[in-house]
């Protein structure tokens, strides 16, 4: 199965790498860069529009096809745009950012790369729908726009997905334990992709310097993150695809789980 991934790149240099994470206590729009023109109008989901010239503007197309095991595989083809999943929440840089998926106009998921697996369980929890829209956003969560219209594309979920019966491994798979810390708005180790075999037990041990909530997308697993204490979230990776692990309040990508 496949899934998407992206965060945001930024503008200050640190160790030769650009970063635009905003300072703790400031909002995304306070951290916003000077690219384009920030409009007073929004995209309908609580995010302001960032208008740029049509020439060289980000563009996206979306295609969906049923997955052989469960749900749909969603493919985003972009132009003049780069998914940047290691600096979400920073200032806006032209042609960089992430995408969001909407089902019949309702927010469904954030996407950090070209592929996203849409499981039937997520579709059911969203109340169902037939029209999937992919919209491009800057690092500061403003929506890229041309002519006061969000940069987006829409595809129809017309095919019927199939669900294969879950298989039981002959022997218990070894556990995968990930140790992650969040301090001053930065994630350590830096967000990346971790390959996991289907059926393996995943144990996330996360320590944050402020109160927050840990969330595993696709599996809909959550755990409270009390400030200064290590929280452990354990679940079985029984669904294939690419799943992002984030914090809710600080909106940080912690890691991506590639389950095969």
Report pLDDT for 249: 86
Structure tokens at 127: 């109340």
Show Cβ contacts of residue 230 under 8 Å, excluding neighbours closer than 6 positions: 205, 206, 207
Nearest by Cα to 218 from 99, 94, 72, 106: 72
Report pLDDT for 100: 94
CA 140 to CA 211: how far, in whole Å?
Answer: 22
Three-class SS state of 152: strand
Report pLDDT for 112: 92
Report pLDDT for 202: 92
Residue linked to tokens 């740029």: 52
Report pLDDT for 5: 38
Domain with CATH 2.60.40.420 in the chain: 176-259
- How confident is the model over 50-108, as pLDDT tens digits? 999 999 999 999 999 888 888 889 999 999 999 988 878 888 899 999 999 999 888 99
Q: Within the chain, which residues score under 70 in pLDDT?
A: 1-33, 159-174
CB 181 within 8 A of CB 231: no
CA 8 to CA 90: how far, in whole Å?
Answer: 7
Report pLDDT for 250: 87
CATH of 176-259, one of 2.60.40.420, 1.20.1630.10, 3.10.20.30, 2.160.10.10: 2.60.40.420
Residue linked to tokens 């095991």: 69
CB 231 within 8 A of CB 206: yes
């Amino acid at each position: 199965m496949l899934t998407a991934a992206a965060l945001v790149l930024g503008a200050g240099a640190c160790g030769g790498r650009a970063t635009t994470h905003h300072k703790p206590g400031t909002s995304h729009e306070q951290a916003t860069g000077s690219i384009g023109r920030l409009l007073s109008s929004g995209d309908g989901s609580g995010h302001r529009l960032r208008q740029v010239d049509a020439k060289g503007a980000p563009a996206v197309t979306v295609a969906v096809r049923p997955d052989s095991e469960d749900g749909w595989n969603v493919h985003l083809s972009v132009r003049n745009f780069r998914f940047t999943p290691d600096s979400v929440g920073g200032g806006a840089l032209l042609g960089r950012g992430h995408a969001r998926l909407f089902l019949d106009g309702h927010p469904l998921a954030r996407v950090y790369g070209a592929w996203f697996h849409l499981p039937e369980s997520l579709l059911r929890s969203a109340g169902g729908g037939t029209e999937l829209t992919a919209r491009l956003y800057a690092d500061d969560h403003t929506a890229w726009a041309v002519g006061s219209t969000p940069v987006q594309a829409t595809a129809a979920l017309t095919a019927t997905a199939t669900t294969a019966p879950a298989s039981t491994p002959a022997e218990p798979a070894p556990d995968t334990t990930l140790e992650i810390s969040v301090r001053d708005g930065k994630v350590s180790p830096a967000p990346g992709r971790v390959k996991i075999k289907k059926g393996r037990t995943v144990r996330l041990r996360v320590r944050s310097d402020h109160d927050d909530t840990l969330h595993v997308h696709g599996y809909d697993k959550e755990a409270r993150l009390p400030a200064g204490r290590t929280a452990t979230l354990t679940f079985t990776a029984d669904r294939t695809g690419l799943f992002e692990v984030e914090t809710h309040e600080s909106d940080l990508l912690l890691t991506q789980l590639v389950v095969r």
